[in-house]
Amino acid sequence: MLRRQAYRFELRPSGQQLRSLRQFAGSCRFVYNLALALNTARYNKKRLGYAGRCAQLLNWKRERQFLSEVPARALQQALKNPERAYTNFFLKRSEFPKFKKKGQRESVRIPQGRQRYRTGLESASLVDPVERRIPRAVPAAQEVLA
């Protein structure tokens, strides 16, 4: 039987890393709110799906320079969130989607692990080596699967 074990880590980012993470969270919140406002305005008409919003994301990135500094996959995940919120609402699993506010559960999801993004002329990782506190020893992968 396969046993799934979760581990919790506490990250301690430096000042620049913290600013980058907050910028990513703010940009994702901005894109989420734009997509939610667009679908709310079109509530009685046909809603704009994920593919249509992805096409508009390119225009939003051209109009607003700060969106170009964030990994594209994080913004695409932020576009999927309103779609999931609407689906849950129509299936009566949750309330009508609400706009996100600064400082309330700020988060960024980037699929497929560690991603790279471009900052100016240099390439950097979203999660450069960050100091972390590990509360207990994490077994090696071979020990977990054995």
Determine the pLDDT at residue 30. 93
Asked if residue 133 lies in contact with residue 122, where contact means CB atoms within 8 angstroms, the answer is no
Q: Answer whether 0.95 is exceeded by the pTM.
A: no
* DSSP secondary structure letter of residue 68: G
Neighbours of 16 (CB within 10 A): 9
Q: What is the pLDDT of residues 34-70, one digit of tens each?
A: 988 888 777 777 767 778 888 888 888 889 988 888 8
Cα dihedral 16, 126, 100, 88, rounded to 10, equals: -160
